[in-house]
Amino acid sequence: MRYYPGPHGGMGIWFGIAGFVGTLLVIALIVALVVVLVRRNKQPSVPVHPGAGNPAVHLLDQRLAAGEIDIADYQARKAALTGEAPPRPEWTPPPTEPPAPPDEDKG
């Protein structure tokens, strides 16, 4: 039998390997696209409030609305319940004492 290299001069095996690798790349791209789309759909589109379903936070909200606790106490307790850092209090200047009236007895 006589060796006949074919129409491409013996490159047939390389075209076969390239076709196989190309097919694998196309399949990998399709799988990657499906994975990205599935992960994107699993994430909620609207951010959820951390204490939305927590009955303790709901009770805390009710106590604030009823006036049983003040805002600073509410924020500190809510931070403790949700695991957030408590808010830093705002700086307020210390109260100034009114000047003492002049002594009239020394006069």
| Claim to verify: residue 59 and residue 78 sit in the same structural domain | yes
> What count of other Cβ atoms lies within 10 Å of the Cβ of residue 60?
21
| DSSP secondary structure string for all residues of 17-78 | HHHHHHHHHHHHHHHHHHHHHHHHHHS-SSPPPTTTT-HHHHHHHHHHHHTSS-HHHHHHHH
User: Does a structural domain hold residue 103?
Assistant: no
Q: Copy the structure tokens of residue 48.
A: 């959820």
Per mean pLDDT, which range of 6-10, 59-63, 79-83 is the poorest? 6-10
- For residue 22, give its domain range: 12-44
User: Does a structural domain hold residue 93?
Assistant: no
Number of domains in the chain: 2
For the segment 38-42, the average pLDDT, to the nearest whole number, is 83
For residue 68, the one-letter residue type is: E
Question: pTM of the full predicted structure?
Answer: 0.35
